[in-house]
Chains A and B, each alone.
Chain A
Amino acid sequence: DAEITQSPRHKITETGRQVTLACHQTWNHNNMFWYRQDLGHGLRLIHYSYGVQDTNKGEVSDGYSVSRSNTEDLPLTLESAASSQTSVYFCASKGAGASDTQYFGPGTRLTVL
């Protein structure tokens, strides 16, 4: 069965360190997304990609970057982690249609000390 996986599932890091969260999907979807989930804010879009070599900023992109070198993977990098980036991060992917379902990964809980 097709799936979307994230690694690591839990990460503790220190302020100022670079951190990369991995996202891998086997749906063969062109569209991939990164969200963060915080209490009282729901899910907020960080970055998204419509295909290889395409990346776009979302609502809360400051301090984050993504790159898309193949269809399956969209890693999220925190260039210099800050305590405000402590959150749960979700990756998602979907097909080409606007009404297509977004499928979510299990999430990565990141703590920045």
Chain B
Amino acid sequence: AQSVTQLGSHVSVSEGALVLLRCNYSSSVPPYLFWYVQYPNQGLQLLLKYTSAATLVKGINGFEAEFKKSETSFHLTKPSAHMSDAAEYFCAVSRAGYSTLTFGKGTMLLVSP
């Protein structure tokens, strides 16, 4: 069975500050890992994904995430927050041979001026 834990249902940062959203996963086999973003009243949009190539993955809008097997983590970062980054972020896990995703409960990112 797979599971995802996102630490912190809400994270607040100031504009220009570092963004760090935490994701830990549980998987009995090597995972595929995804970060999605959801803006208000919209569907989910892929930010980036880890598919067992490079452990540091770069995504859209300046976000990146690093796969750390020893820590079973896939934290999302952005060096400098923008007001437009305010949204809900979801981490998800899948694995070879399966097409279903297991999602974390989401982290709402709040950006203040």
Contacts and interface: CB of A to CB of B under 8 A. Distances in A.
A binds B: yes
Contacts of B99: 31, 48, 50, 94, 96, 98, 100
Interface in B59-113: 90, 94-101, 103-106
Interface in B10-53: 32, 34, 36, 41-46, 49, 51-52
A43 interface: yes
A102 interface: yes
B46 A106 contact: no
B27 to A, nearest CB: 12
Given A90-B44, A104-B45, A98 B105 contact: no
Interface in A3-47: 31, 33, 35, 40-45
20 contacts: A35-B103, A40-B105, A41-B105, A42-B104, A42-B105, A45-B100, A45-B101, A50-B99, A58-B100, A94-B99, A96-B99, A98-B99, A99-B52, A99-B94, A100-B99, A101-B46, A102-B44, A102-B101, A106-B42, A107-B43
Interface residues of A, number: 26
Given A42-B103, A50-B99, A58-B100, A101 B49 contact: yes
Q: Output the residue of A33, A48, A99, A107 with the most chain B CB within 10 A.
A: A99
Contact of B43 (A33, A58, A90, A100): A90
Q: What is the predominant secondary structure among interface residues of chain B facing chain A?
A: loop
A99 B104 contact: no
B4 to A, nearest CB: 8
Contacts of A43: 44, 90, 103
Interface in A71-113: 90, 92, 94, 96, 98-107
Q: Output the residue of B52, B101, B106 with the most chain A CB within 10 A.
A: B101
B32 to A, nearest CB: 4
B90 A33 contact: no
B95 A104 contact: no
B97 A98 contact: yes
B90 A99 contact: no
Contacts of B36: 104
A38 to B, nearest CB: 10
